[in-house]
Amino acid sequence: MQHEDVTAVVWQDKHVVLLLSTNSSPWTNGSVTRKTGKGKEEIEIACPQVIINYTKHMRGVDVSDQKREYYGVGRSSKKWWKFILHFVLNVCLVNCFILYDLTNHPPSTAHGNRQLTFRRNLVCQVIGTFTSRKCTGRKRSLPIRTAFPNLFQTLQKVSGHAKVCALCIEKKKKAPSGRGKQTTYKCKECDLPLCHVGCVLEYHEQQNVAVQN
């Protein structure tokens, strides 16, 4: 079947072969050689020209698909854009490896897995020194702003959204949800968010200053 410049061809070989072509006439046929199954006897059978062209020039595509299937990127998904993203990313990786292999001629590795070695080195270079582990070090003390002993510290409402209490962070206290305890109050002079009950008095007692409600 043909529509404008696109031709759909179905040909029965050992299996059914389906192709779409834009460069082969559907009226042009060639021939291919097949064994008859009786010794080494061979015969020629008619074959569409598009099948002959595909068989002749398919090697690059097949090799690329083969290298892409060795180390698949991504997971199966019902969302089409994820499939396209993973496909394009994997094709880019294969093309990069082919160019690297042609220009650098790396020595053969165990079982000839040069592409696996290339991908591992690429991942290490992309990640660099990044780590998801939390850095441990000296405990940071609670910041002290302008808590002067001769001044009364004033508590005021926080404008906008609630903020995490500074003293609760130091004591690692958390809300039932697992997040830091939030408060809508802060010390005006210290400019620190503090819980209205408990934390305000405790913090200023540590600094030996008075609080004015």
Residue 37 burial class via C-beta count within 10 angstroms: exposed 0-12, middle 13-18, buried 19 and up? exposed
Q: Give the pLDDT of residue 151.
A: 43
Residue that wins the pLDDT comparison between 11 and 142:
11
**174 neighbors 180 (Cβ within 8 angstroms):** yes
Q: Rounded mean pLDDT of the chain?
A: 77
Q: For residues 142 and 130, give the distance between their C-alpha atoms in angstroms, rounded to a whole number.
A: 28
- 106-128 exposure pattern, b = at least 16 Cβ within 10 A, e = fewer: eeeeeeeebbeebbeeeeeeeee
CA angle 84, 88, 94 (to 5 degrees): 145
Residue that wins the pLDDT comparison between 137 and 144:
137
Q: Give the pLDDT of residue 195.
A: 80
Average pLDDT over residues 134-161: 56
pLDDT confidence band for 27 (50 / 70 / 90): confident
The model scores a pTM over 0.75: no
Q: Write out pLDDT tens, residues 150-207.
A: 445 566 777 777 788 887 877 777 777 777 777 877 777 777 787 877 787 777 777 7
Q: Give the pLDDT of residue 133.
A: 67
**194 neighbors 186 (Cβ within 8 angstroms):** yes
Distances (CA, A) of 152 to 144, 159, 187, 203, 212: 15, 21, 10, 13, 6
Q: Write out pLDDT tens, residues 55-104.
A: 888 777 778 888 888 887 777 778 888 888 888 989 898 888 888 888 87
Residue 148 in this model has a pLDDT that exceeds 50: no
Extents of the domains making up the chain: 2-57, 63-127, 153-212
Q: How many CB atoms lie within 10 A of CB 16?
A: 8
Q: Give the pLDDT of residue 145.
A: 44
Residue 146 in this model has a pLDDT that exceeds 50: no
Q: Give the pLDDT of residue 36.
A: 76
Q: Give the pLDDT of residue 169.
A: 78
Average pLDDT over residues 23-50: 80
Q: Give the pLDDT of residue 150.
A: 43
